[in-house]
Chain A
């Protein structure tokens, strides 16, 4: 499947294969390829969803990936191209279609967003287009599923049609086709179109953007706190705690197995924050403390993504992002990074240059904590009020800005300017939103929870083997003298490689002062990415740039942690 960015390839793909992939309303949602299978009769066809591309000459890493797949599956494996076309932008989309046809490869065209053409006063003669191009043309509306069956039925008819035109006449050729198949009648501006104008004009757009960002955080905090405090925590306290007390009794209230599974019994009770057993703190952290925030974040992000607001936020923040050597779209990987740094790191692929990818990956890894970590920090530091939280996140923002400005000055070269298509606003489709939210929440449960349990297990092993005491003495000068933290905090730094939420949780039993909590939270966010992010970064940046990036992380952590200890 090949097509321009943001034409709904991933939605068509999900429809064809039943394989769920994340789709949104902004160009560049898909940055890697996904394979799935489609059954037609007795045959099993492999379908590949690839990043969108405007032409057959790549201009970003994501586009390169798309074209590599095209080469591979067409030339070597006798594949066919399903060219997904945005029917509301036929002229520009045909540019890619003609390039594909010229390559003499089998193509079938799907005119997607067919339903929207009517609202926009566009009428297209699909049959006429089919006879001009010489390949099958099907009309589809992927979100509702209309036309997908016809697309499947006609896959077999896809054929190579050497559509010849002189290269410099390509647009002229497209113009001729458009004249024959498309009529545009005047239409009244819809509400969404007027909203689009208002939200991009600086005088109204900037206040709207500030409002949206503010509302986003308020809403996440409201839902996260509500679900965590009113639902999950009471469930743990009322039902799980008594059960665990019984279990503790059965295990004999002591011993290494007891401590690993149930943890310490404090004043005759289980303390989900401090007991640190796999079945107590190990379950409480991911499910009761973090999950509600992850859920809330992805719920709100889903709306921002599917409505089409994100690229507008990118345009409005373009000026600020240029200060740190990125352009406006850089904000998308930062936003995704707030959910989890892994998709954030992958999203850097929509950037054109290596320089931008390095800057955005480094900035995100240092100064953008993921939602799991944020939830734990909010739980821990938030007790001291909004001011304390502002201290932590304000520091991280300043670090982000400072390192970004420095990297922009010091690194060779310049970052390109923004050049991006802004999609129309679309009313998010409830089914798609719910599915995406579920995929992300399930991803968290499947990928994060086992690591949290492993993290808690390792904490217990480290403590019982007295490795922590040893490391505490070893790293004493840095942790104690420079950061002003108790030597036990080194355990949190160690576990932070695995899961940062567990690491923040480990600060609870240490009984830190507010100043120490702030320093520890900032240091934990900055010093190094977690294992999952690290693995992705090595792949995306290459080992040499990753070493550079990691050096920046360690040095800036030492400076910032030390400075905070002096100032606060």
Chain B
């Protein structure tokens, strides 16, 4: 099931399939190792459209809500259900 980072639940795993943004956003994400095919785990999200926290490799990254909405993933748990 395809969803964006904000729609994932805490603890859910996923694989990035698309980052909908311009070159600047892609570059920024790329620098921290977030690109197509990256496996991520959602850690938590802050209230009221606050930042989303995900785990990439061994790093936790906080991503603003607007940016998080443009990162699409295939959720692994979602598929099982």
Contact = CB atoms under 8 A, between A and B. Distances in A.
B55 to A, nearest CB: 10
A424 B57 CA distance: 13
A422 B33 contact: no
Contacts of B77: none
A319 B46 contact: yes
Contacts of B63: 417-419
Contacts of B37: 171
Interface residues of B, number: 31
Contact of B51 (A55, A197, A318): A318
Contacts of A89: 57-59
Given A95-B31, A200-B44, A201-B44, A421 B67 contact: no
Contacts of B27: 55, 57, 59
Contact of A202 (B32, B35, B44, B67): B44
B56 interface: yes
Given A91-B33, A95-B31, A422-B61, A417 B66 contact: yes
A425 B75 CA distance: 28
B53 A319 contact: no
A328 B50 CA distance: 10
Nearest to B50: A319
Interface string B6-39: 0000100000000000000001101111010100
Nearest to A417: B64
Contact of A419 (B46, B58, B64): B64
Interface string A299-327: 00000000000010011101100000001
Given A171-B35, A419-B28, 18 more contacts: A59-B27, A59-B31, A88-B58, A91-B33, A196-B60, A202-B47, A315-B46, A316-B46, A318-B50, A318-B64, A319-B46, A319-B47, A328-B51, A417-B63, A418-B51, A421-B60, A421-B61, A422-B62
Interface of B: 10, 27-28, 30-33, 35, 37, 43-51, 53, 56-67
19 contacts: A54-B31, A55-B30, A59-B27, A59-B28, A59-B31, A89-B58, A92-B56, A95-B30, A95-B31, A200-B43, A201-B44, A202-B47, A315-B51, A318-B46, A319-B46, A416-B64, A419-B61, A420-B61, A422-B59
